[in-house]
Amino acid sequence: MRKTSTKLYYSIGEVTELVGVKAHVLRYWESQFPVLKPRRGNAGNRTYKIRDIKYLLSIRKLLHENGFTISGAKKKFKESGNNPDTLIQQLNIPFSDPQNRKTLIAVKKELSELKKIIDEL
């Protein structure tokens, strides 16, 4: 049986790390993609669900890697029925629990730093 995430909501800081873009980019994408609707806490802080993270990873892939425009990405979303799981599959985005992803990002960063040290030898 696969372990599921015990965390339901992620802060904007956590999501910027998971998706690999800055907070102002996430806020801009929210204004452009109506499917992104992070909740707001009592203090007004955004909190994202796993569904939102899947949308954001899809948007990042379409815009940053596949060269889509915002309108092209919106069209792709519409074609998928705005289903984040369909988008993840269509775009061939490896998705795992955000906690696992966070660990992988940290390991990748550490390996990159080690590579720099080795290259300097």
Secondary structure of the chain in HEC code, one letter for each residue: CCCCCCCCCEEHHHHHHHHCCCHHHHHHHHHHCCCCCCEECCCCCEEECHHHHHHHHHHHHHHHHCCCCHHHHHHHHHHCCCCHHHHHHHCCCCCCCHHHHHHHHHHHHHHHHHHHHHHHC
CA 65 from chain center: how many Å?
13
Tell me the average pLDDT across 87-93.
87
Q: Calculate mean pLDDT across residues 39-55.
A: 91
**Mean pLDDT, range 23-50, rounded to an integer:** 92
pLDDT digits (tens, 9 = 90+) for 36-45: 989 988 888 9
- Location of structure tokens 């955004």: 46
The per-residue pLDDT for 1 is 44
Q: How confident is the model at residue 96 (pLDDT cuts 50, 70, 90)?
A: low
* Predicted TM-score of the model (pTM): 0.75
pLDDT value at residue 121? 82
Per CATH, domain 10-120 is 1.10.287.3510: no
